[in-house]
């Protein structure tokens, strides 16, 4: 008589699988899910979300949006020149930030520097990122006066905080093999970064920079509210004068400029990466 076959439940493979599945549900994970649920409920109440009111008052919003049409392009030449200034502000704010973010991101990476350098650098980036561009614009308007230069400086500081964090995360996710190989040759720390780190992170750095450029053009479009130059000055004045048809024309120009920048960014990204 043949020996009794082994039960599927008691087979080593099944037991290993069940043990693995059991590890997926732990007390810490359950507590984390509960904490997230509590945070979502609390933030829902604090935010006073009421989508029913939005539906009930939708007619008011429709009437308000109708006042924006038809757009008034009578000053299109002025809008175009101011939009060019806005794009220039975004370009230089992003370029300066990208240059400064490279060394800061290395100093903020756990796999490249000791913790006594990493933590202070990260806190500096946190401060630069936490403060909105408009607040920085107010500070720089006092320092350098009204105009686009104050806008460029405010975008530069805030964007440095954003790109520094993104760049450092890219550095921390690199493969250590190339860096270890370069280190084994007796190369300096700077050479390790140039030849072992930068080639690995350059595609991500490029994508992050191009995206922030697009974002900075949008941000620059409202810095004129505090006198930092660009199309935001006209946008603020048109809102203040209830000239909503001119506001609509300015918004259309900004949307067109953003779309063009997006297309050009995609081509540049494909060419560089």
Q: How far apart are CA 100 and CA 123, in angstroms?
A: 16
- Average pLDDT of the segment spanning 24-28: 76
* Higher-scoring residue by pLDDT: 268, 103: 103
Reply yes or no on whether the pLDDT at 195 is more than 80: yes
- Average pLDDT of the segment spanning 185-204: 85
Q: What is the pLDDT of residues 163-172, one digit of tens each?
A: 999 999 999 8
H-only helix segments in 148-243: 148-172, 176-184, 189-192, 198-223, 232-240
What is residue 195's DSSP assignment? I
Q: Which of these, 78, 97, 79, lies nearest to 216 by C-alpha position?
A: 97
Q: What is the pLDDT of residues 237-265, one digit of tens each?
A: 888 888 889 989 999 988 888 888 888 88
Would you state the structure tokens that stand for residue 22, as one six-digit string? 């059991």
Q: Catalogue all structural domains in the chain, each as residue range(s) with its CATH number.
A: 12-67 (no CATH), 73-272 (1.10.3720.10)
Q: What is the pLDDT of residues 92-113, one digit of tens each?
A: 999 999 999 999 999 999 888 8
Q: Angle, to 10 degrees, between the axis of helix 198-223 and the axis of helix 244-272?
A: 170
């Amino acid at each position: 008589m043949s020996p009794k076959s082994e039960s599927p439940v008691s087979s080593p493979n099944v037991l290993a699988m069940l043990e693995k599945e059991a590890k997926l549900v732990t007390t810490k994970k359950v507590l984390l899910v509960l904490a997230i649920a509590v945070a979502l409920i609390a933030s829902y109440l604090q935010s006073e979300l009421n989508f029913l009111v939005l539906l009930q008052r939708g007619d008011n919003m429709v009437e308000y949006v109708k006042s924006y049409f038809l757009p008034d392009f009578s000053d299109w030449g002025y809008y175009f020149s101011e939009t060019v200034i806005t794009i220039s502000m975004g370009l230089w704010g992003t370029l300066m930030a990208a240059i400064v973010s490279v060394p800061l991101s290395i100093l903020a990476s756990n796999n490249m520097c000791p913790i006594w350098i990493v933590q202070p650098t990260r806190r500096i980036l946190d401060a630069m990122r936490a403060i909105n561009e408009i607040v920085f614009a107010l500070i720089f308007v006092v320092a350098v006066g009204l105009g686009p230069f104050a806008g460029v400086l405010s975008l530069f500081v805030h964007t440095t905080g954003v790109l520094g964090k993104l760049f450092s995360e890219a550095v921390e996710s690199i493969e250590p093999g190339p860096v270890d190989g370069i280190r084994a040759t007796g190369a300096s720390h700077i050479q390790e970064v140039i030849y072992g780190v930068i080639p690995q992170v350059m595609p991500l750095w490029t994508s992050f920079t191009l995206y922030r450029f697009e974002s900075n053009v949008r941000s620059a479009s409202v810095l004129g509210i505090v006198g930092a130059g660009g199309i935001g000055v006209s946008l603020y004045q048109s809102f203040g004068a209830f000239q909503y048809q001119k506001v609509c024309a300015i918004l259309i120009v900004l949307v067109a400029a953003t779309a063009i920048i997006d297309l050009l960014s995609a081509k540049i990204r494909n060419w560089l990466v």
